[in-house]
Amino acid sequence: MSDEPQPASIHDVIIIGAGPCGLAVAARLGEETPSAVFTDEEHQRYHWIKKHTGRMNLVQARHSKINGVRANKWNCETMCPCDSKDGKDKGQDRQRRASTDSVSSVPSLSASSTTSTSSSVSTLVLDGSGDKWMQRWNNAFKTLEIKQLRSPMFFHVDPGDRDGMLAYTQETGREGDLWEIPGCVGKEMSKHKKKKRRQGGKTQPIGGEIDERDRKDYFSPSTELFADYCASIIDRYGLNEPGQILQREATGLSYDYVSDGSEKIFTISTSTGEKFYSRAVVLAIGPGGAGVSKIYPWKPANEQEGAAGCCHSMEIKTFPSPNVQDKIQRRQETNVVVVGGGLSSAQIVDMAVRKGVTKVWFIMRSGMKVKHFDISLPWMGKYKNWEKAAFWSADTDEERLEMLQTARNGGSMTPRYTKIVKQHTAKHRASLHPCTEIKSHEYNTSTQTWTLTTDPPIPNLPPIDYIYFATGARTDVREMPLLREMNEQYPIEVKSGFPCLTNDLSWREDVPLFMTGRMASLRLGPAAPNLEGARVGAERVTWGIEEVLHKGRDVGEQCEGFCGLGNRYASLLGDSDE
């Protein structure tokens, strides 16, 4: 038993991380009719009735008949079809069913459901980067001047509607903020179809992957459109209340009984010395978050070298660096090295050229990989359900790990940025070097330049003013200081740094520590670190939290709560004998 005194305040859920994964969980906890459970028709019907509750009758008539049936017989606010009963007790039944305190408050097609069942769940969010949702995400996109998301339209964090971003775009008239993903579907697909039709051959989607019915989905939103859509989700679920997100870096996590021994709770220690307590914890840390190890070809030898001569792409504060900016202003020659092979590295190359760097040397350890998305097309298109089924039905986590590595296959660039980089190369503003490694490096503090040697050698490589490491990050739960105590007290199996979680994405069946995002990859699949993984992960996590907190009550042998379960006709129930 812990020596901690009984805390004055215990939250139901604490979410560590205010990025997309954390936002997806918080929004899902507040959604009464999740799209994974309710059909589009049920969504529309439920929300329409809820919107117009008390404003109008669904069918308005006095004593006339409509198609031979009295209209007031079907008034869902007052009666149900079984109310006739030869006219007996109509008034009592009508009065009983008009009450807002219905037999069940399950999210249903009833006008009586007016508040979210998750309103009783006490939630707190801790994030080291700020006290607003998506702050680290938005800052990173702003710093790198990224105008477009790589993800398609159906990758988002809205739990209510798979096509929510498309609907938002159309409602706000912002179709101009959509970027077509060419060569996937769209104009390129149409040309392909016409050519095949002229040749009298059968038409197949390019790569055999994309279903034409998903044509509208293969557009990606602009950064501003996505940010505004997330803001609308935050507003819809009331997630912007003061004090709901605290800027605190979580440094320690333990799970034990408190002094009175009544229940086990989590104790979260922060860098400020404060402690917070909860019954369940959701770890929603993305790249750059606490405990995530950044990958470097080598670590800077000292603070001066690291501050003045190089940095990881996740640590860029100003661009270009002060010493490079000073030389550009003095119209001196500048040379910058970018190490990496993913989309971020290509974006840094492009931005450096646009900011006035004389030449950018783009060094990649492997060959150049070009993909529309950071996972292979079979996981995105027509046959994605087959891929997911194969992943989920795998016998071992070793098999799933192999599938993960094959589907992601390291960093890759989109066709659009590949074209941009090659244009800079053609103009001698960039130099592309795939399958090349830096073998030695020496930093001169007086000139603030690097001397590098590579394998194979790069001819006439000049002194380098600055190096950007766009080499990604590694997540290993065994190396995260935040999880040190959890690893000691509640050890679990780990594969290549990924925890072998339960199907509800909890640490263990007896430990309600839930993980989403990259750390849930062995359960969610290759898309786990993406926006799609955030949404799917939030669905599973919410089911697990529902079970832990025992919110709601049983209705028709189903649990009523924020999982959106229950009988949608429950509001039509009367007395048990009816």
- Looking at the domain assignment, is residue 275 inside a domain? yes
- Looking at the domain assignment, is residue 88 inside a domain? no
Q: What is the pLDDT of residue 380?
A: 74
- Looking at the domain assignment, is residue 89 inside a domain? no
- Looking at the domain assignment, is residue 379 inside a domain? no
Calpha distance 77→560 (Å, rounded): 21
- Looking at the domain assignment, is residue 343 inside a domain? yes
Beta strands of 17-157 (E only): which ranges? 65-66, 69-70, 123-127
The answer to whether residues 159 and 238 belong to one domain is yes
pLDDT in tens, 330-382: 999 999 999 999 999 999 999 999 999 999 999 999 989 888 888 877 777 66
Domain boundary among 434, 456, 473: 473
**Mean per-residue pLDDT for 499-521?**
95
The answer to whether residues 288 and 417 belong to one domain is no
Calpha distance 356→312 (Å, rounded): 21
Question: By C-alpha distance, which of 442, 468, 436 is closest to 455?
Answer: 436
Lowest mean pLDDT among 80-84, 176-180, 371-375: 80-84
> Is pLDDT of 256 > 60?
yes
**Overall domain count for the chain:** 3
Domain boundary among 435, 452, 473: 473
The answer to whether residues 170 and 199 belong to one domain is no
Length of the chain: 578
> Is pLDDT of 276 > 50?
yes
The answer to whether residues 204 and 127 belong to one domain is no
- Looking at the domain assignment, is residue 25 inside a domain? yes
- Residue 547, Cβ density class (10 Å: 0-12 exposed, 13-18 middle, ≥19 buried): middle
Report the SS3 class of residue 282: strand
Q: Which residue has the higher pLDDT, 425 or 550?
A: 425
Calpha distance 578→576 (Å, rounded): 5
The answer to whether residues 186 and 331 belong to one domain is no
Residue pair 28/505 in contact by the 8 Å Cβ criterion = no
**Mean per-residue pLDDT for 119-142?**
90
What is the CATH number for 240? 3.50.50.60
**Mean per-residue pLDDT for 416-430?**
95
- Looking at the domain assignment, is residue 400 inside a domain? no
The answer to whether residues 249 and 370 belong to one domain is no
- Looking at the domain assignment, is residue 288 inside a domain? yes
The answer to whether residues 259 and 315 belong to one domain is no
Range of the domain at 285: 1-56+109-176+222-292+475-551
Residue pair 50/318 in contact by the 8 Å Cβ criterion = no
- Residue 156, Cβ density class (10 Å: 0-12 exposed, 13-18 middle, ≥19 buried): buried
Residue pair 361/461 in contact by the 8 Å Cβ criterion = yes
Q: What is the pLDDT of residue 387?
A: 84
Domain boundary among 473, 498, 518: 473
**Mean per-residue pLDDT for 477-501?**
94
Q: What is the pLDDT of residue 549?
A: 87
Report the SS3 class of residue 511: strand
Confidence band for 205, pLDDT divided at 50, 70 and 90: very low
The answer to whether residues 456 and 355 belong to one domain is yes
**Mean per-residue pLDDT for 228-255?**
94
Average pLDDT of every residue of the chain: 78
The answer to whether residues 432 and 507 belong to one domain is no
The dihedral sign for the CA sequence 542, 153, 345, 522: positive
**Mean per-residue pLDDT for 11-23?**
95
The answer to whether residues 247 and 363 belong to one domain is no
The answer to whether residues 354 and 489 belong to one domain is no
User: Which CA distances in Å does 163 have to 33, 166, 250, 373?
Assistant: 15, 5, 34, 19
**Mean per-residue pLDDT for 413-441?**
94
> Is pLDDT of 117 > 80?
no
- Written as one letter, the residue type at 359 is K
The answer to whether residues 124 and 245 belong to one domain is yes
Q: What is the pLDDT of residue 209?
A: 43
User: Would you call the peptide bond into 320 cis, given omega within 30 degrees of 0 as the criterion?
Assistant: yes
Calpha distance 269→249 (Å, rounded): 9
pLDDT in tens, 484-495: 999 999 999 999
